Amino acid sequence: KLVYVGAEKPLINKYVFDNFFGDDGFGDFNFTQEITAKIDRSKHASVAYVDLVKKYPDQITIITLGPLTTIAMAIALEPNFLSLTKQHIIMGASLKTNEIEFNFQQDPESDWIALNNVDKPNIIVPIDTVYSHIFSQEEYISLMNNLDEPIRSFLKQVNKKAIEKTNNTWTPADGITMAIALQPEIITQYSEVNLKPVLVGDARGSVVINSNNYIHNARVVKSFDKEAFKSLVSQYLSKLI
């Protein structure tokens, strides 16, 4: 397992911290297990991305679960970067009027670069879709109880802060996005549109659908099979034991 370090800040503004997952972004619990992944500091993540997609063209799926800064930097290094990928899956954006999603809010310039340098649609899992598929407290507990220790305890501790902020419901945006990447068949409805990031004004960080442009730069996931998602969680997390 190898980790490359990406961008530390957005292209223009400073990063705005959100403690949705706790002050450390990890539930604020005492994690004592050994971390076996190694950080390779010989190159920036954007450089590693470009090297990999050139070495394995049309074979690599890029999954972005945070702001798009590192993707934008990779495009600056190699303008055909996203064309060389198999697909790019993004967790982010809100298609609701007057709503701004956290990831897209952090770096609108990078949103623009990522959405306007493609030859195939980015697959986007917007926060609206996550919120329309909320898992109740009962669903969450039932799913966790089907997992073995120590995975169950780990996930409960990591998710504790976030669940407290969402009225004891579970909104696994990153998990849903990863599940769609692993098994796109769980998507039950999507729409292909042209999304335009807003760069100025009070709506900065939001996106609008550009009805005057026929080029579809986004395939927006509108719904997915919740039961299939829960099965995938059980299937893949049980392999970690």
Query: What is the C-alpha to C-alpha distance for residues 48 and 76, in angstroms, rounded to an integer?
Result: 13
Question: Per the structure block, which two tokens stand in for 108?
Answer: 């609108």
The pLDDT value given to residue 1: 66
Quick one: pLDDT band at residue 14, thresholds 50, 70, 90? confident
- Quote the mean pLDDT of the chain: 93
Q: Read off the pLDDT of each residue in 212-222 and give the average, rounded to a whole number.
A: 90
Q: What is the percentage of the chain residues whose pLDDT exceeds 90?
A: 78
CA angle 194, 201, 66 (to 5 degrees): 60
Q: What is the number of domains present in the chain?
A: 1
pLDDT tens digits, residue range 21-68? 888 877 888 888 887 888 999 999 999 999 999 999 999 999 999 999
Mean pLDDT of 104-108: 97
Give pLDDT, residue 36: 80
- Report the first-to-last Cα separation within the chain, whole angstroms: 17
Residue 2's pLDDT is 79
Average pLDDT over residues 104-131: 97
* pLDDT of amino acid 22: 82
Predicted local confidence at residue 79, as pLDDT: 98
pLDDT digit string (tens) for 140-189?
999 999 898 888 998 999 999 999 999 999 999 999 999 999 999 999 99
In whole angstroms, give the CA distance from residue 43 to residue 178.
25
Cβ atoms 169, 163 nearer than 8 A: yes
Which two three-digit tokens encode residue 127? 């926060």
Structure tokens at 7: 């961008």
Q: Is the pLDDT of residue 240 over 70?
A: no
Position 11, amino acid: L
pLDDT at res. 12: 95
Residue 31's pLDDT is 81
For residue 24, the domain's CATH number is 3.90.245.10
Structural domain including 65 reads 3-238
Task: Look at residue 239 in the predicted model and tell me its pLDDT.
Answer: 65
